[in-house]
Amino acid sequence: MYHQEEIECMSRASLEALQVDRLRWSVVHAYENVPLYKKRFDEAGIDPYRIESLNDIKRFPFIMKQDMRDAYPFGLFAVDRSRVKRIHASSGTTGQATVVGYTERDLKNWGDCFARGIAMVGGGASSTMQVSYGYGLFTGGLGAHRGGEAAGCMVVPASTGNTKRQIQLMRDFGVDILCATPSYALLIADTAIEMGYDPAKDFNVSGVILGAEPASERMRDEIRRKLGVRYCDVYGLSEIMGPGVAMECDQACGLHVAEDQFFVEIVDPDTLEPVEDGSYGELVITTLTRECSPLIRYRTRDLTRIIDEPCACGRTHRKIDRIVGRTDDMLIIRGVNVFPSQIEQVIMGCDKVAPHYRIMLSTQGGMDKAELLVETAPEFPFDEIRRLEGLRRRLESELKSNLQIAIDVKIVEPKALERSEGKSQRIVDLRETNARRAPHAPAMD
Ligand code: DLL
C-alpha cells in the first residue's frame, strides 16, 4: 500500500529528471532570497543558474548547524514573513537554538512525506494513530500529526508523559498505529505489561512509527514482540524538515528517502569527498522543494550509507541504512576515541543484560573515569552474587579488548535506570572539562 504511488514508484529516470528540475529551482531560490547563500556562492565563484545534472551539486559549499545558529532566528528564511505559517526550533540547551520555518506548501509536503510511512505499516484513512512524540517546538509531535491528517487517519494527539493514560487511550480508542521514540514505545509496552495486559493480544495496535534516536536490533525486536507490530523506522531532523525525510518499508532493510523532496549524498567526514556507493559516511542533504528554509548541502553529522538496490516493495526511491551514529558522538576518554555504538555492540552481544544502559563519565584524580551502568535481563538471577560478578568481569574484559580502554561496569537490577518519554540520554558526561571531547564536536541539542 502506498500513500502516493505515482511519486513513490516513479521510474528512476523520471525521478532523476524531477530532481534536476527541483535542484535548479532550489539553488536559485536560496541564492536570490538568502544573503548567506549569495555570499557563499559568489565567494566560491559558482554560477547557481547553471545546473546541468545532479552531479553539479558537488561544486557547492556545505552548510552547517553553526551557520543556522549564527542566523538565529530568521536569517536563513527565504520567503516573506507573511508566508511563514509555522516555526519549529531545536532545544538549544547546549548552544543557540536553530529555527526553521514552513510555508503552507512546506507543511503539505511534510505531511505527505510522513504519510508514506503510515502506508508502509499498513495504515490509512481507517486508522487511528496515536502521536506520543512531544508536541511543541520539537518537530516530532506536530510532524507526525500532520502526516496522520494527510493519510486521513483519526489522530490522537497524546504527546508524551502520563504513560498509564497513554495506554488507556490506546485501549479505549482502538489505536492501530503508535508514533513515539523507540525508548518511549518500549516504556509504554512495559508499563502495559505491568498493568496486566498483553499488548500484542489485548491492543489493536498493528504498526509503530518510531524514530528521533537510534534503536538497536534487540530493542526493535523487543518492541515488535511485546506490542505485536510492524515497525517503521522514521528518520528526520528539525533543520531539514522533521520526521519523514526517510522511512522504512516492510522489507526492513533500509529507509526510503523522500527523493522527490531531498537530494542525498554521503561524504567522508574528514575529507568531505564523496565516498564510494554503499560505503558509510556522513549524510549530506539538499532540500529540493522547501520554500521557507531551503538548505543546500546540509551536513547532518549522521553516519549511514546509501543502499542503491531495487526494493521488493516497489518503491524506487533509494534507501539509507539505519543511522549508525553521529560524527560528533565520538568521546575521547583518556585520549582514546570511543564511539558509544562500540559500547552498545558489547551490550547487545550479551543476552544476560538488557538493552538499557547509561555511560557515566567523570573526573577522578585529574583523570577521566568511565563507568557503564547496565541492567540485567529480567530472567537473570540478580541475587546470585557469583554469577553477577562473573557477568561484570566478562563485560569489562570485552569492553577492554574492543575499545582498548578500561571501563568499569556496574550491573543494576531491571528497571533501575530511568526510562525516557522522549529521546533517551545514554551518556552523562560530568567531566570537569569538555576539552577531552572530540575537538570538532559541536554542542549537541
Ligand atoms: O528528532 C526529528 C524526528 C522526530 C525524527 C520524530 C523522527 C521522529 P531533531 O531533534 O532535530 O529532530 O534530531 C535530529 O536525531 O540528526 C539523528 O541524529 C537523530 N535521529 C532522528 N531520527 C533517527 C532515527 C528529530 N530514525 C537527530 N535513527 C538526527 C537514529 C535518528 N537517529
Burial 324-352 (b: 16+ CB within 10 A, else e): ebbbbbebbbeeeebbbbebbebbbeeeb
Nearest protein CA to atom 4 of ligand 1, as residue:
140
The pLDDT value recorded for residue 78 is: 98
Q: How far is the CA of 211 from the centre of ligand 1 (A)?
A: 6
Question: Which residues neighbour 168 within 8 Å (Cβ) at sequence distance 6 or greater?
Answer: none
Q: How far is the CA of 372 from the centre of ligand 1 (A)?
A: 24
Nearest protein CA to atom 12 of ligand 1, as residue:
237
Q: How far is the CA of 213 from the centre of ligand 1 (A)?
A: 5
With contact defined as beta carbons under 8 Å apart, do 72 and 239 qualify? no
With contact defined as beta carbons under 8 Å apart, do 110 and 86 qualify? no
Ligand 1 interacting residues, C-beta cut-off 6 A: 90, 133, 139-140, 211-214, 233-238, 242-243, 300, 302, 323, 326
User: Grid coordinates standing for 290?
Assistant: 522547501
- Which atom of ligand 1 lies at the shortest distance from residue 144's CA? 6
- Which atom of ligand 1 lies at the shortest distance from residue 301's CA? 16
Question: How many beta carbons lie within 10 A of that of residue 9, not counting itself?
Answer: 14
**430 closest CA partner among 343, 373, 371, 353:** 371
The C-alpha cell 575529507 sits at: 271
Nearest protein CA to atom 14 of ligand 1, as residue:
237
The C-alpha cell 510492524 sits at: 230
Q: Which helix (H) or strand (E) element contains residue 67? A: helix 65-70
Q: How far is the CA of 47 from the centre of ligand 1 (A)?
A: 33
* CB-neighbour burial class of residue 56 (10 A; exposed 0-12, middle 13-18, buried 19+): middle
Identity of the residue numbered 434: N
Provide the residue-wise pLDDT of the chain in tens; the chain has 445 residues: 899 999 999 999 999 999 999 999 999 999 999 999 999 999 999 999 999 999 999 999 999 999 999 999 999 999 999 999 999 999 777 688 999 999 999 999 999 999 999 999 999 999 999 999 999 999 999 999 999 999 999 999 999 999 999 999 999 999 999 999 999 999 999 999 999 999 999 999 999 999 999 999 999 999 999 999 999 999 999 999 999 999 999 999 999 999 999 999 999 999 999 999 899 999 999 999 999 999 999 999 999 999 999 999 999 999 999 999 999 888 999 999 998 988 999 999 999 999 899 999 999 999 999 999 999 999 999 999 999 999 999 999 999 999 999 999 999 999 999 999 999 989 999 998 654 444 333 333 3
The pLDDT value recorded for residue 330 is: 87
Q: How far is the CA of 294 from the centre of ligand 1 (A)?
A: 19
Q: How far is the CA of 88 from the centre of ligand 1 (A)?
A: 14
Which of 179, 213, 247, 320 maximizes ligand 1 atoms within 8 Å of its Cβ, making it the mutation to test the pocket? 213
